[in-house]
Copies of this chain bind each other. A is one copy, B any other.
Amino acid sequence: MNFVGNHIISVGQFNRLAADRVFEVADSMQPYAMRKNITRVLQGAILSNMFFEPSTRTRVSFGSAFNLLGGEVRETTEVKASSLAKGESLYDTARVLSGYSDVIVMRHPESGSVAEFAEASRVPVINGGDGPNEHPSQALLDLYTMRTEMAASGQSIDGLKIALIGDLKFGRAVHSLCKLLCLYDSIQLNLISPPELALPDDVLDLLKAANHTINIFHDMAEGIQGVDILYVTRTQEERFPSQQEADKYKGLFRLNQAIYTENCAPNTVIMHPLPRDSRAQAQELDDDLNQNPNLAIFRQTDNGMLIRMALFALVLDVVNEVDKNAQPVTWYTARRHLPI
């Protein structure tokens, strides 16, 4: 896979070499994301951050990542603020906006919309999530987090034991992650969900074709035993036919410190693509886990910055320029480095 000048639309574009290349570049972004140094490698470049569906985390993360490389961000949020509402096609929007920018990140509620948009774009487009379909930077940051969390114990991605917990049917983060895991060897996946929210067959088939070990559970306590990583998800309420239907599954699997202590090996990593639903009736990850040093959910979002910086640097072909003229950060940064 060649990154330079290309669109990042789907995890299906990645082979193992390409994924590892992203991770390697992400590693090199650490001094900038941690505010040890600044770089101005993309000074004068413009990111169009197009969010036709609400998002704080992904939108700000992409925007900040671009700023950390020295570039500027022009942002559009929600479809009603847009000429799409006046009947403009994705083709036209892409043609026009790509004339204003050097790279575009797009989130849109419809599957396939970002690929359609990218085809007409005159600059590289990165998929920031196209409805229930794909969210490749999320999958990359999830896998990168597994890689970095396990590094301390000498464990690589090959051979990992992962429990996927919750709404495995509608969670696009889970689907994309599974596809990326197919690039690696000998993964054990414990799939924990209510039967109605099981992982779709097409994703299951891919995992089987990759010779991974699949175990299916409907009971969480049983399924989380002996794994390296717990990957917990929220119920994707907005994808259900009705709120009532969604509410049936809310809070079905709740992980808290007591359950963790009783069932998990020490240092079992806890991940979640966020947002976690902290309302009383949901709480898929209880607040009492906030002091657990193995709760990796905020290291995960921090890693999102590294991954997005890496994607920009790769696509715009500046990886080898980033460190040139790097300068030390002179403002206050100490609070950031306190242990979480």
Contact = CB atoms under 8 A, between A and B. Distances in A.
This chain: how many copies in the complex? 3
A134 B338 CA distance: 28
Given A67-B74, A87-B279, A274-B92, A335 B122 contact: yes
A92 B305 contact: no
Given A46-B67, A331-B317, A335-B122, A56 B38 contact: no
Interface stretch (A95-103, A144-152, A188-196, A257-265): A95-103
Interface string A265-277: 0000000001111
Given A298-B99, A331-B317, A333-B102, A60 B74 contact: yes
Given A316-B332, A335-B122, A100 B305 contact: yes
A185 interface: no
Nearest to A277: B87
Q: How many residues of A sit at the interface, in one of the four size bands?
A: 35 or more
Interface in A47-92: 48, 54-57, 59-61, 63-64, 67-68, 70, 72-78, 80-83, 85-89, 91-92
9 contacts: A5-B334, A41-B330, A46-B67, A64-B101, A75-B75, A86-B237, A92-B275, A123-B335, A318-B331
Interface of A: 4-5, 35, 38-46, 48, 54-57, 59-61, 63-64, 67-68, 70, 72-78, 80-83, 85-89, 91-93, 95-102, 121-124, 234, 237, 274-279, 282, 287, 290, 297-298, 301-302, 305, 315-318, 321, 327, 329-336, 338, 340
